[in-house]
Amino acid sequence: MLVLLFLIFLFGLIIGSFLNVVIFRLGTKKSALKGRSFCPHCKHTLAWYDLIPVLSFVFLKGQCRYCAKKISWQYPLVEIATGLLFLQTFVFVNFVRHAEFISASSVVDFGSATEMTTLIIQCGLLLAVGSLLIIIFVYDLKHYLIPDKIIFPAIAIAFLYRISLQSTVYGLRPSVGAKLLTLTTFYPLFAAFGAATFFLLLVLITRGKGMGIGDIKLAFLMGLLLSWPQITTALFIAFLSGGLIGLALILTRKKKLKSMVPFGPFLASGTIIALFWGEKIINWYWKILL
């Protein structure tokens, strides 16, 4: 079990290293899949042993082997974040319990095999959308921009995730019917259009000084992925953390009151927290309230 978790984390690190390449090459005409990686400072082509996730950074003490220029902390941090995302997704989808359940039933059940396939698909979709959220986090932080090349595929993946959830629910219990249609179709659409409208109003009121069009698209993605009521948790976390960090930056005079702090990173992290722990947070909140 531990070996399996370690392998999943390792796989996440490798994907994280690829995400760094995507972030670096976005907006340039280079493909993320073609061409060797090089040092952005001295342009020296990097050897395979310079590209081992996290370890290369540690052994090189955060410096380029060829020109000794500092390597950005972004590289190991994105790799570790992606590794953790992969671990958490695997735990979240709860593969192991399902696998045990399936092997425990002595009769080979066609239904449970289909269920397992759906779980694998859902896991893949969550990993993909999570990875895109990490890209959005870093890219918006660096460039104050959420690229369409990332946000549109993410929305498409969130849409597929919704469909896959629906097929699990219908496949298992077709008798429950209309109530589930509301839960699986109406709620996510309501959350997506609701959140997008909310951000559209914010953009109009602040005249685009606070939020941008990218934030509206991101809000739509969040609603679709998280549905109602988890979307409120994500937005609450985003506004709270954004406000606190913005305030801290102003107090320490790193930013002026009127200067821009990108909101995408807060939305992206709020989404990931609400995706995995949203229900727990809402339950806990109600317990305090009642």
Is the Cβ–Cβ distance between 46 and 38 less than 8 Å?
Answer: yes
CA nearest neighbour of 135 among 182, 81, 201, 71: 81
Rounded least distance, CB 72 to Zn ion, Å: 12
For residues 45 and 105, which CB has a smaller minimum distance to Zn ion in the complex? 45
Beta strands per DSSP E along 163-261: none
Q: In the range 22-81, which residues lie near Zn ion by CB under 5 A?
A: 39, 41-42, 64, 66-67, 69
Distance between CA atoms of residues 240 and 268, nearest Å: 13
Q: Which is nearer to Zn ion, 42 or 201 (CB)?
A: 42
For the CB of residue 21, give the shortest distance to Zn ion in the complex, in Å.
Answer: 16
- Choice between 67 and 172, CB closer to Zn ion: 67
Residue whose CB is less far from Zn ion, 42 or 58? 42
Task: Output the smallest distance, CB 58 to Zn ion, in A.
Answer: 17
CB 225 within 8 A of CB 122: no
Nearest approach in angstroms of CB 80 to Zn ion is: 22
Q: Give the total of residues touching Zn ion (CB under 5 A).
A: 7
CA nearest 226: which of 284, 137, 158? 158
| Residue (76 or 130) nearer to Zn ion, CB | 76
Residue 190 tokens read as 């309501």
- Give the separation between CA 240 and CA 252, rounded to whole angstroms: 18
Interface residue list for Zn ion (CB under 5 A): 39, 41-42, 64, 66-67, 69
